[in-house]
Amino acid sequence: MAEKVGSSIITYRLKLRCDHIDWIRETENFYNKVLEFYYEILTDHLDFLELSNMEVLRRLEQMTIVGRDKQPVMMPLPFQKVPLYFRRSAINAAIGHIRSYVGLLQNWERKKEKAEKKGHTWKKGKPAPAKSFHASVVFYKGMFKEFGEGSILLKLWNGRSWIWVRHTYYGRKLPKEGIILSPAVINKGRKILLSVPVKFQVKDVRKVKERKKEKDSFCAVHFTTTGVLAACAVFSGNGHVTDSYFVRGGKEFAYRRKRLLNRIKKAVEGGKKYKRKIFRLSSYYAHLVSRRILDYCKQKGIKGIIVPKYAEIEGHLYGQGIEGFLGKRIIQFLKYKAWKEGIILTTISPYYTASHCCHCGIPLRRYNEGHMPGNRYFGGKLFMCKNGHQGNVALNAAKNLGILFHSRNIVVG
């Protein structure tokens, strides 16, 4: 059987140094005008959307652009000096916008039908097509060049003509491997960002089921708000625990977060600046923890990672509504980082994983060194059960998660 190859796209965000933000703005306005023109045509031709994007683009160009035969077209593009790849980029953006509108509309109609079947009155307003556009300009080939080594040439519209403008950028280093796709310029007022998608090849694209069937090793991970931010338990293909690992640093994170929270309390104007700092701090730790987990998994030859499925709705499940809990964000980062390495992430509802003994399944009692175990000892890092099993609470939860995964025939997520 031929090996299937997949891909993963990771977007790098760089800061662009810009002497002429007005030109960026002009280019963006122009782009959105072209986008709007095509969007309006598409709202009258929703039947086009059954075709592929390439085919839709071809149809739109046939309707609006005079070809080599010099024959007049139905709806000529009402702008002069629109470069080919600028136009195509705007057309594709318009197709993206209309597809998302139609998606919303279909969803609305489905829900309405369902509600009416049940005899409920449906009050939610029907989604309307977009009226104004603020899309970021995606620079297709021909619109940018000499990209690398900290600078890029962008073709910009200055209101009268197209000019090549060199910009320097700084931030994360772009990877050596991978294919660089069309960058987009994101205008955030005073700050201009260059968003660069990079496509990586993924060699192992097997599904969770296949990996489980082929007896690959999995790593179950449990997240906490204590000093141990993540506890990992490695399971062999036979479902036995073969190794474990802790990602610590939770105390340091909690301390730094608390300091910022105190500043918010003291701040005069709501402490917006510190809220942003807290967000950045959480991102930093979430990236760090996801990277540590992934490095460990790579080292152990793991092919799948099992994480708790945190309920989407307000529920009683662990991890819901806990302030300063990083689990969800770590999972979000871990998912795409792992996929790039051919490791798949799967979720499992963590029923009783934190409250029951992984060896015998009975409720456990928590405690800390030198204390008596108790049923309501919530901060306890260690556990003990009536059958004499004991150990670390976080690792126990990770093991339970792995056991749940291996005891099921149907794989969730």
Q: Could you write out the DSSP letters of every residue in 11-39?
A: EEEEEEE-S-HHHHHHHHHHHHHHHHHHH
Pick the closer one to Zn ion by CB: 18 or 357.
357
Residue among 171 and 391 whose Cβ is closer to Zn ion: 391
Q: How far is the CB of 385 from Zn ion (least distance, A)?
A: 3
Query: How far apart, in Å, are the Cα atoms of 85 and each of 37, 81, 143, 173, 299?
Result: 16, 12, 7, 27, 44
Please give the single-letter amino acid code of residue 247: V
> Smallest distance, Å, CB 292 to Zn ion?
29
Select 194 or 385, whichever has its Cβ closest to Zn ion. Answer: 385
| Cα angle, residue 74 at apex, residues 70 and 75 outer, rounded to 5° | 105
Measured from the CB atom, is 43 or 392 closer to Zn ion? 392
Interface residues with Zn ion (CB under 5 A)?
357, 359-360, 385, 387, 389
Query: What are 307's strand-pairing partners?
Result: 347
CB of 235 to Zn ion, least distance (A): 18
Q: How far is the CB of 301 from Zn ion (least distance, A)?
A: 30
Write the CB contacts of 145 (distance below 8 Å, at least 6 apart in sequence): 152, 153, 164
Q: Which string of DSSP letters, residue by residue, matches 66-95?
A: --TT----SS--S-SS--HHHHHHHHHHHH
Considering the complex, state which of residue 9 and residue 360 has its C-beta at the smaller distance from Zn ion.
360
Structure tokens belonging to residue 261:
């929270």
Which lies closer to Zn ion via its Cβ, residue 275 or residue 359?
359
Least distance between Zn ion and beta carbon 246 (Å): 21
Which CB atom, from 306 or from 385, has the smaller least distance to Zn ion? 385
Other beta carbons within 10 angstroms of residue 276's beta carbon come to 11
Q: Which two tokens stand for residue 348?
A: 């499992």
> What are the strands, taking DSSP E only, across 123-161?
137-138, 144-148, 151-157
For Zn ion, which is the closer residue by CB, 225 or 390?
Answer: 390
Do residues 231 and 255 lie in contact, with contact meaning Cβ atoms separated by under 8 Å? Answer: no
User: To the nearest whole angstrom, how small is the minimum distance from the Cβ of residue 393 to Zn ion?
Assistant: 13
Separation of alpha carbons 13 and 196, rounded Å: 6
CB of 222: closest distance to Zn ion in angstroms? 17
Comparison of 58 and 386: residue with beta carbon closer to Zn ion = 386
Which candidate, 81, 73, 102, places its Cα nearest to that of 33? 81
Lookup: tokens for 243: 């190794």
Contacts of 106 (CB under 8 A, 6+ apart): none
Indicate the DSSP class of residue 175: P
CB of 372 to Zn ion, least distance (A): 18
Query: Under a CB-based contact definition with an 8 Å cutoff, are residues 154 and 148 in contact?
Result: no
Question: Please, what is the minimum distance in Å from the beta carbon of residue 354 to Zn ion?
Answer: 14
The helix (H) or strand (E) run that includes residue 289 is helix 272-299
Closest CB 357 distance from Zn ion, rounded Å = 3
Please provide the distance, in angstroms rounded to a whole number, between the alpha carbons at the two ends of the chain. 26
Dihedral over Cα of 96, 99, 105, 108: its sign: negative
